[in-house]
């Protein structure tokens, strides 16, 4: 069963821009409704076998969960930081140790929040009327993620595939579709090959260093260009290749998956999309600057000196108002264009490459109970991590 993607760029741009404008006008309160509406659009655009996914999340759940999480985190961070600051001044006569330990203490909460956000999103996602779900296990995931990150850093990235596989297996083995549990099969060593381009980029870096020590300037310049490009491609290749291999070894009862995706395509969409989004975001600044100069110069010829003088002599509140308008104009255009030029093309690329096998057994799958998940993805919202689409 192949997957189609039915979304249109202009409809998405309008939705992202208008909901972003409402978010600005409500001082951020509308963002819970914005995220809900955007998710419903993306989910409905992905159609395995022609049947769209459904997102049934409630913005009031998100708002309430956010408020609960803020209260808990404020108490946790406040009490912990107070104790750490007291210990730091008592034992080390300074606050550096307190700040360091405070950061380390928040890292497990960061991973915890990511898992909780994933659990909420899956619990509010349906296909063919059947709910997805994720079993509890956020603290287990947080401590495993912390452990594997330490191992990865200590081995200079050599155990990155081990971390990728083990964390994905932890999440997948606790994921449900209806009443069937998913399983992540395979071994972590099957991901080692995905590191090859990153490895080659490091080799190029070492060779370039050798050229520099021998004074071979042209080859050093060439290596400084080839190495970073190869490294960026290596990151995209690792992401795409591990995703493909892990997907091919997932099983949900009789259902199996395969994914076709191209690293160069992903890298091109990401790089060109953010570049054009950045250029588009400059439009509000240019428009408002032109309006400002028109108001100040009254049609006279404008030079750099005129601009500087006009800014110096302008009314302070006019400058503040135009600065605020420019900032939010950039924010709105950037948000809408990145959805259209980056997020949507990436989703479409991955979605159209996804194939589901064993769908003839779908009638045998039964509904699972609804997961209330009272605090929704509030912790991820409060920490601003893992709560995106």
Q: Where are the domains of the chain?
A: 56-185, 187-248
DSSP code of 33? H
Strand, helix or coil for residue 247: helix
What's CA 322's distance to the chain center, in Å? Answer: 31
Per-residue confidence (pLDDT) for residue 322, from 0 to 100:
62
Pairwise pLDDT comparison (355 vs 100), residue with the higher score: 355
Per-residue confidence (pLDDT) for residue 237, from 0 to 100:
96
pLDDT digit string, tens, across residues 272-322: 999 999 888 877 666 655 655 555 555 454 454 555 555 555 556 655 666
Section 48-69 average pLDDT: 89
Per-residue confidence (pLDDT) for residue 224, from 0 to 100:
87
Per-residue confidence (pLDDT) for residue 218, from 0 to 100:
81
**37 — pLDDT class (breaks 50, 70, 90):** very high
**263 — pLDDT class (breaks 50, 70, 90):** very high
DSSP code of 315? -
Section 186-208 average pLDDT: 92
* Sign of the CA dihedral with 80 first, then 81, 83, and 84 last: positive
Residues 6+ apart with CB under 8 A from 350: 243, 259, 261
**How many Å apart are CA 280 and CA 16, to the nearest integer?**
15
| pLDDT > 70 fraction of the chain, expressed in percent and rounded | 79
Per-residue confidence (pLDDT) for residue 343, from 0 to 100:
95
Per-residue confidence (pLDDT) for residue 180, from 0 to 100:
94
**43 — pLDDT class (breaks 50, 70, 90):** very high
Taking 80 as the threshold, does the pLDDT of residue 250 lie above it? yes
Per-residue confidence (pLDDT) for residue 201, from 0 to 100:
92
Report, in this order, helix, strand and coil percent for the chain, each rounded to 5.
70, 10, 20
Give the N- to C-terminal CA distance of the chain in Å, as an integer: 24
Section 228-238 average pLDDT: 93
Structural element, H or E, at residue 355: strand 354-357
pLDDT digit string, tens, across residues 91-147: 665 666 556 666 666 788 889 889 998 999 999 999 999 999 999 999 999 999 999
Structure tokens that stand for 120 in this block = 């909420």
Per-residue confidence (pLDDT) for residue 100, from 0 to 100:
64
Section 164-185 average pLDDT: 95
Q: What DSSP assignment string belongs to 39-98? A: HHHHHHHEEETTPPEEE---HHHHHHHHHHHHHHHHHHHHHHHHHHHHHHHHHTSSSHHH
**222 — pLDDT class (breaks 50, 70, 90):** confident
Strand, helix or coil for residue 28: coil
> What mean pLDDT value characterizes the chain?
84
**389 — pLDDT class (breaks 50, 70, 90):** low
Taking 70 as the threshold, does the pLDDT of residue 271 lie above it? yes
* C-alpha separations of 198 from 167, 228, 231, 236 in Å: 21, 10, 5, 10
Taking 60 as the threshold, does the pLDDT of residue 78 lie above it? yes
pTM: 0.84
Q: Which of 40-44, 87-91, 325-329 has the lowest mean pLDDT?
A: 87-91
Per-residue confidence (pLDDT) for residue 99, from 0 to 100:
63
| pLDDT > 90 fraction of the chain, expressed in percent and rounded | 51
């Amino acid at each position: 069963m192949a997957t189609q993607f039915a979304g249109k760029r202009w409809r998405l741009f309008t939705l992202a821009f208008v909901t972003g404008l409402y978010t600005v006008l409500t001082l951020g309160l509308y963002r819970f409704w914005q995220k809900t509406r955007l998710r419903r659009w993306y989910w409905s655009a992905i159609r395995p076998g022609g049947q769209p996914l459904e997102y049934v999340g409630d913005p009031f759940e998100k708002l309430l969960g956010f408020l609960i999480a803020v209260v808990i985190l404020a108490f946790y961070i406040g009490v912990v930081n107070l104790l750490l600051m007291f210990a730091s001044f008592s034992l080390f006569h300074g606050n550096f140790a307190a700040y360091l330990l405070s950061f380390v203490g928040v890292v497990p909460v960061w991973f915890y929040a990511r898992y909780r956000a994933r659990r909420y999103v899956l619990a509010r996602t349906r296909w063919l009327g059947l709910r997805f779900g994720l079993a509890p296990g956020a603290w287990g995931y947080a401590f495993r993620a912390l452990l594997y990150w330490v191992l990865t850093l200590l081995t200079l990235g050599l155990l990155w595939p081990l971390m990728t596989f083990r964390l994905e297996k932890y999440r997948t083995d606790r994921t449900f579709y209806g009443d069937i549990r998913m399983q992540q099969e395979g071994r972590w060593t099957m991901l080692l090959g995905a590191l090859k381009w990153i490895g080659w980029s490091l080799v190029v870096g070492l060779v370039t260093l050798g050229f520099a020590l021998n004074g071979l300037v042209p080859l050093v310049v060439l290596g400084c260009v080839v190495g970073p490009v190869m490294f960026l491609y290596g990151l995209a290749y690792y992401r795409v290749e591990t995703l493909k291999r892990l997907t091919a070894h997932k099983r949900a009862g009789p259902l199996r998956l395969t994914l076709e995706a191209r690293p160069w395509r992903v890298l091109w969409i990401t790089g060109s999309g953010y570049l054009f989004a950045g250029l588009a975001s400059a439009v509000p600044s240019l428009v408002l600057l032109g309006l400002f100069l028109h108001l100040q110069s009254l049609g006279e010829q404008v030079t750099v000196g005129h601009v500087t003088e006009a800014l110096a002599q302008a009314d302070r509140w006019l400058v503040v108002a135009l600065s605020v308008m420019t900032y939010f104009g950039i924010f709105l255009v950037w948000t809408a264009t990145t959805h259209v030029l980056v997020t949507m093309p990436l989703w479409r690329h991955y979605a159209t490459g996804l194939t589901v096998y064993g769908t003839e057994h779908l009638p045998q799958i039964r509904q699972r109970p609804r997961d209330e998940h009272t605090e929704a993805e509030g912790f991820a919202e409060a920490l601003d991590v893992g709560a995106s689409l």
